[in-house]
Copies of this chain bind each other. A is one copy, B any other.
Amino acid sequence: MSGRLAVIGTGPGDPDLLAPRAAAALADATDLVGYGPYLDRIAAREGQARHASDNRVELGRARLALGLAADGRRVAVVSGGDSGVFGMAAAVFEAIEAHPPWHGLDVEVIPGISALLAAAARLGAPLGHDFCAISLSDNLKPWPVVLARLVAAASAGFVIALYNPASRARPWQLGAAFEALRGVLSGSTPVAFAAAISRADERVVVTTLEAADAGEADMRTLVLIGTEATRRIDRPHGAPWLYTPRQHGSPA
């Protein structure tokens, strides 16, 4: 069997933020497998098969891709951002583990610029020291676990990046998360909503925990919650910068 599987994160969206290794693997693939909207961002190439699927069927999508690679195809599994950060990579390895004939397949994970890094760069340097990333979806873990992680992280002084903050099927979680965090962090703690970074419909809102409105977020939004040390710099033009000082306990 001479097929191969590349698991690719396509970055935040602008091709200018896609590394050459990922671009080459996309161009080389005989088959692209992924969630429809991510595939739509990739330029078509003649003779390349596209296997678009709905969201939330990651394991089936992973098995399809592995089966094609085992049949000798050159397959690219496509996620937005980085495939290892709430993307397809974990589903691919779950499928591999369950099926020993796939253990010897040629699989490469090609890293990408995650939404977390793209949003942070757009805002300044909010991740300036220790930080964490939490998916707010309770499809794959119980809500009390999500809440306990939020409170543990905020109490310990981590900057928090929230993935999957809201969707039509999960409208209330972000409001409940803000409520829980208000019990731990000062109301003046900076909060930012960063949506579709680097794309035409990019949108950035910088506010505070006290004023944060969960209605600002949708599926495409990353929500960043600073620490009490996180600073805001207003500018003559453009959105304010946010940064978190590197030095503990001594802002600026």
- Chain A residues at the B interface, C-beta cutoff of 8 Å: 11-12, 14-21, 24, 58, 82-86, 89-94, 96-98, 103-104, 107, 109-114, 117-118, 120-122, 124-135, 140-142, 145, 148-149, 152-153, 155-158, 231, 233-237, 241, 243-249, 252
Contacts and interface: CB of A to CB of B under 8 A. Distances in A.
Contacts of A113: 19, 82, 111-113
Number of copies: 2
A98 B252 CA distance: 7
B117 A252 contact: no
Contacts of A114: 117
Nearest to A107: B241
B142 A85 contact: no
B120 A84 contact: yes
A121 B113 CA distance: 12
Q: When A and B form their complex, which 9 residue pairs have the shortest distance between CB atoms, in order from nearest?
A: A141-B248, A90-B128, A132-B132, A93-B243, A89-B125, A152-B156, A111-B121, A109-B121, A90-B125
